């Protein structure tokens, strides 16, 4: 426990002291939120109504969590810092949680900033906002898992570019930018198999108070998150014996 807390504290410090990524992770979604809302005020489109846009943007902003985790982990590999952790008596669950847990408050802060900004564009304060943030927990876990996976597999130089592909895929296939039913066909089928649109929809349903609709989306995201987490943990453990 002490070892896990020591590592988690270090992860948190490392992230907060490297504000470039953090500013980017909060700044970009925020910028898009403001931009789309301003456009919306002039040319109303249903998908960009604040009740749709804000939860979509909160879900999207979480994709940056994977970027933070992957970059930190890949860097720790390249600087051999990870060797030290592996050589210490710390257990796999301790160091994996040491990397993963600090991402949760950061993700929560990202979502909070999205919703707070949305108040300025007419989002009505309600308890459903807290529910939406809670519902986004499996989405956060999903992106943490992506981050650990990429961090273990990729080098220092690959981590950022590959992760920006993930961020873009999450944005495009998440259903925040365009209504996926308009495209239809195979594209939509792929999108519904992937977790990204379900992350968006789960938060939208929660915010709208459409409680019955939450669960199927939540289950889909949770399934993906669990799958990826298991893969990340297994690869992490394998990596530990193969330096």
Residues that bind other proteins (CB under 8 A): 2-3, 6-7, 10, 13-14, 17-18, 75-76, 79-81, 83-91, 240-243
| CB closer to other proteins, 4 vs 226 | 4
Closest approach, Cβ 13 to other proteins, in A, equals: 6
Nearer of residues 60 and 95 to other proteins, judged by Cβ: 95
Closest CA to 84 of 3, 15, 162, 183: 3
Whole-angstrom distance, CA of residue 156 vs CA of residue 123: 40
Which residue, 86 or 121, has its beta carbon nearer to other proteins?
86
The alpha-helical segments, DSSP class H, found in 43-136 are 50-61, 63-78, 81-87, 92-100, 103-120, 127-135
Q: Which residues of 39-60 are buried (b: 16+ CB within 10 A; e: fewer)?
A: ebeeeeeeebebbbbbbbbbbb
Task: For other proteins, give the closer residue by CB, 87 or 183.
Answer: 87
For residue 126, give every residue at least 6 positions away whose Cβ sits within 8 Å of its Cβ, in sequence order, or none. Answer: 207, 209
Q: Which is nearer to other proteins, 14 or 208 (CB)?
A: 14
Q: Interior CA angle at 222 toward 211 and 31, to 5°?
A: 75
As measured in angstroms, the least distance from the Cβ of 6 to other proteins is 4
Q: Considering the complex, what minimum distance in angstroms separates the CB of residue 72 from other proteins?
A: 9
CB of 66 to other proteins, least distance (A): 20
What minimum distance in Å lies between the beta carbon of 14 and other proteins?
5
């Amino acid at each position: 426990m002490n070892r896990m807390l020591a590592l988690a504290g270090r992860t948190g410090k490392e992230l907060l002291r490297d504000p470039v990524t953090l500013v980017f992770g909060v700044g970009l979604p925020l910028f898009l939120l403001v931009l789309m809302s301003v456009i919306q005020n002039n040319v109303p489109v249903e998908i960009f109504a604040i009740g749709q846009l804000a939860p979509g943007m909160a879900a999207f902003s979480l994709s940056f969590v994977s970027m933070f985790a992957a970059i930190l982990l890949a860097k720790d590999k390249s600087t051999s810092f990870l060797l030290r952790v592996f050589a210490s008596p710390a257990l796999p669950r301790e160091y994996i949680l040491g990397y993963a847990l600090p991402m949760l408050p950061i993700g929560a802060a990202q979502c909070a900033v999205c919703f707070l900004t949305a108040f300025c564009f007419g989002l009505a304060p309600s308890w459903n906002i807290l529910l939406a943030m809670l519902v986004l927990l499996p989405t956060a876990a999903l992106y943490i898992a992506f981050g650990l996976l990429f961090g273990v597999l990729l080098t220092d130089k690959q981590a950022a570019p590959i992760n920006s592909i993930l961020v873009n895929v999450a944005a495009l296939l998440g259903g925040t930018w365009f209504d996926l039913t308009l495209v239809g066909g195979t594209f939509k089928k792929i999108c519904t198999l992937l977790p990204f649109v379900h992350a968006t929809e789960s938060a939208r349903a929660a915010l709208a108070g459409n409680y019955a609709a939450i669960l199927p989306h939540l289950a889909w995201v949770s399934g993906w998150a669990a799958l990826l987490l298991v893969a990340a943990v297994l690869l992490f453990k394998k990596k530990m014996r193969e330096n």
